[in-house]
Structure 1
């Protein structure tokens, strides 16, 4: 073979080797329905990330669970609880502020006020930051702000209304009875937000709730805010001032007169309309004599 022929043969062999080495080979037989399907992309490792704006949009938004301008009513001497529920607070810090003088009461669980009646109540993992006010006074009434630190801070406002519970004894402020009659007094506690723990009755300055041996019977229904005093057969010793004293309300008093035969109206000598009883039979001769003498 000539030199040119050898050179051409070498080129053909080199090209054939390069084609086989590069992966090009005989065409594989077509896949049948029973043959497994192999996808090239299964051998590839791919990682995808959502857009940053989607990450921020999926973050739970902080908001208040307590309605703005909530009104809490409490009576003097009781404990007031002002709720402040905050959803998804994150790293926020809750502060309570008294709006009428912009006085900072609490920050977190720390009380900043010199008045230790104010306290923030929060249980671990709870969303509620309640302001507790002990021994409520009338001056505590007003608007309070629950503020969460953020940029800018967010707040809601709550109003505390303070009422004064009082006792009332039904009927007039004075009673007139004859000896042996029944004395019944009923005391009700009004303008109250909670039932009284107890109701004491006083006769003059003596507490008589347990004076059974003197014929005195006291029954109290705290749920109904009622207390009854019963003396089946009142005597002169039962006359005097009776006072109903609930533990959480202003007391009420009534005066009981026990008379024996005399006109009960005569006991109201302090009344401006009282006119003493006159014996017209005695006055008649004097009047007649007066006219005759003229």
Structure 2
């Protein structure tokens, strides 16, 4: 073996030692910088487990649906304002229309009123999901089914029922009352079939409003929230006889006739009441007509 061959073999052994050292260093550095087992790293990188597909995520969050329950019933009294709600989630570019079902009359499209009856109006605030139908000065004929429709493909709808009631006053007791002079006259008026508390209740004695006639011994107290109004006269006199009418601002009035008698028979007093006089007049006219026919 010559000198050149020996030199090459020594250089080859030196290179091999350098390569083995570098490989050993790299393996040691990798082990020191990764304390977690390889199985944990594999699970952390499993994206299918951690994150659902984007299509499923959008389908569950952006689906259009009605938040107002179908067949909701709204009750309103004559003369008041009715509000029919229609809340729609994720409406997108859909357009809301209101339709009166009994005659399929188109009332509103978006915020535009298509009906010639301007009592109907769609109420919607910007960025709101509520498209409420407002009906002012409700009438008995407004009762029925209303459709809230969204122009999607295919169109989707819910239906709401509007019930209309007529509020009325009601005076407790019989329609006629009999008292002796000096007795206490107490009348209680309640407002029934009402969806709104009355703003005021006026009492009339014949044609005179008496809510503030304290000097005449008349006291009127009204509780609008309870829909009640009381009229009290501690010592009634003959001047307090006559017709009393309870008149709420938002209901049909009610009346009662009060007799004040002094030692007379109440049954005899009844013969002078307006109802009895009217009945006798009808009887008299019937008798006259019958006699003329028999002739």
TM norm structure 2: 0.75
Q: Per-residue deviation at 1:52? A: 8.2
Could you tell me which residue of structure 1 aligns to residue 66 of structure 2?
Answer: 64
1:1-294 equivalent positions in 2, closer than 5 A: 28-30=22-24, 31-34=26-29, 54=56, 57=59, 60-269=62-271, 270=276
* CA radius of gyration, larger in: 1
Q: Per-residue deviation at 1:33? A: 2.7
Q: Per-residue deviation at 1:29? A: 2.7
Could you tell me which residue of structure 2 aligns to residue 291 of structure 1?
Answer: none
- Cα separation, partners in 2 of 1:273 and 1:205, compared to 1, 3 Å: closer
TM norm structure 1: 0.76
More helix by share: 2
Number of equivalenced pairs: 239
- Cα separation, partners in 2 of 1:259 and 1:99, compared to 1, 3 Å: same
Structure 1 residues 229-238 or 27-36, which shifts more? 27-36
Q: Give the gaps of 5 or more residues in structure 1.
A: 1-25, 39-49, 275-294
Q: Per-residue deviation at 1:174? A: 0.4
Distance 1:271 1:98 in 2: 49
Q: Per-residue deviation at 1:115? A: 1.1
Q: Per-residue deviation at 1:202? A: 0.5
Distance 2:53 2:232 in 1: 80
Q: Per-residue deviation at 1:34? A: 3.1
- Cα separation, partners in 2 of 1:205 and 1:271, compared to 1, 3 Å: closer
Q: Give the gaps of 5 or more residues in structure 2.
A: 1-18, 35-51, 281-295
- Cα separation, partners in 2 of 1:140 and 1:87, compared to 1, 3 Å: same
**Residue aligned with 2:215, SS:** helix
